[in-house]
Amino acid sequence: MPVPDRGELLRFLCHVRFPATKQEIYQQCVALGAPAAHLERLQSLPDGVFVEPDTVLQALPHPTP
């Protein structure tokens, strides 16, 4: 399965209300209609509170090719 595009994920994250927990981000992205591949990646976020979309992207594990 190809790695989801970070730019596309960012388009969803820009609509999330921050600060937000991992679960809140996931739930809001579900409501926004994010594809399953993005939701799967968001589940790999560490627990904590994120203050902006960029901190979410930085916290995601880097995919292996």
pLDDT in tens, 2-41: 566 889 999 999 999 999 999 999 999 999 999 999 999 9
Average pLDDT over residues 35-61: 95
Query: Computed from CA positions of residues 35, 55, 53, 46, in that sequence, does the dihedral angle turn out positive or negative?
Result: positive
Quote the pTM value: 0.88
12 Cβ neighbours under 8 A, 6+ residues apart:
29, 32, 34, 38
Q: What is the pLDDT of residue 5?
A: 83
50 Cβ neighbours under 8 A, 6+ residues apart:
18, 19, 20, 21, 22, 25, 56, 59
Q: What is the pLDDT of residue 1?
A: 45
Q: What crossing angle do the helices spanning 6-13 and 22-31 adopt, rounded to 10°?
A: 90
More confident residue, 1 or 47: 47
Q: What is the pLDDT of residue 21?
A: 98
Cα 23 to Cα 40: distance, rounded to the nearest angstrom: 12
